Amino acid sequence: MTATLNIHMSSCLFCRIVSGEITATIVHQDEQLVAFQDINPQAPMHLLVVPRRHIANLNDLTEEDDAIVGNMVRLAADLAKLRGHSEGGYRTVLNCNANAGQTVFHIHLHVLGGRRFLWPPG
Ligand code: 5GP
Ligand code: ZN
C-alpha cells in the first residue's frame, strides 16, 4: 500500500467506512463500490454510493475512472429499483466543492427517493 493511500485511509471519513473502521449501514458492496445509508437522511431513501478508491471529487476524475463513474450511476439505478422508486422517480446528486455544499471530500453519489423533490434545487 502506498503512503498516499495510507494518509487517505486514516483521514478520510468515507475511506474509513469503506475499510470498515467506521460503521455504516452498508446496503451493497463489491470489488469497486460500496453503498450505505446517509447518516442524516434527507428523504425516506438516502443512500451514498462511493468508490473504494479515494477520489476527492469530480475535479479529480480522469478517463481511467469512467468505468467507476458508470458503475456508480448504474448501481444507483439498481438500488432505487430494488426499493421500488424506479417508476415514481428518484434523484441522484454529485456535489462538487463549496458552492455545491460538498462536505466529505471522497466522491459520493447521493441517491434520494420516496418523496417529491424541488427543481431548481435550493
Ligand atoms: P456532501 O454534502 O459532501 O455532498 O454529502 C456528505 C454526506 O455524508 C451528507 O449527506 C452527510 O449526512 C453524510 N455523512 C456525513 N458523515 C457521515 C457518516 O459518518 N456516516 C454516514 N453514513 N454518512 C455521513
Ligand atoms: Zn477517501
pLDDT for the residue 10: 79
pLDDT, tens only, 15-46: 999 999 999 999 999 999 999 999 999 999 99
Residue 47: count other Cβ atoms within 10 Å of its Cβ.
26
Tell me which residue range forms the domain holding 38. 2-113
| 17 part of a folded domain | yes
Q: Which helix (H) or strand (E) holds 84?
A: none
Q: Supply 58's cell numbers.
A: 469530480
| 122 part of a folded domain | no
| 120 part of a folded domain | no
Closest listed ligand to the CA of 50? 2
pLDDT, tens only, 44-78: 999 999 999 999 999 999 999 999 999 999 999 99
The candidate with the shortest Cα–Cα distance to 100, out of 59, 53, 55, is: 59
Using pLDDT thresholds of 50, 70 and 90, give the confidence band for residue 2. Answer: low
Is 28 considered catalytic here?
Answer: no
| 118 part of a folded domain | no
Which residues neighbour ligand 2 (ion) by CB within 5 Å?
8, 12, 14-15, 54, 106
| 119 part of a folded domain | no
Q: How many domains does the chain have?
A: 1
d(C-alpha 104, C-alpha 15), whole Å: 10
CATH number of 103's domain: 3.30.428.10
The residues that bridge with 110 in the sheet, in sequence order, are 48, 93
| 121 part of a folded domain | no
At residue 92, what are phi and psi to the nearest 5 degrees?
-115, 140
| 57 part of a folded domain | yes
pLDDT for the residue 5: 58
* Peptide bond preceding 120 in cis form (omega within 30 of 0): yes
Using pLDDT thresholds of 50, 70 and 90, give the confidence band for residue 3. Answer: low
Distance from residue 1's CA to the centre of ligand 2 (Å): 14
Residue nearest to atom 24 of ligand 1 (CA): 39
**Most ligand 1 atoms within 8 A of CB, residue of 12, 29, 39, 96 to mutate:** 39
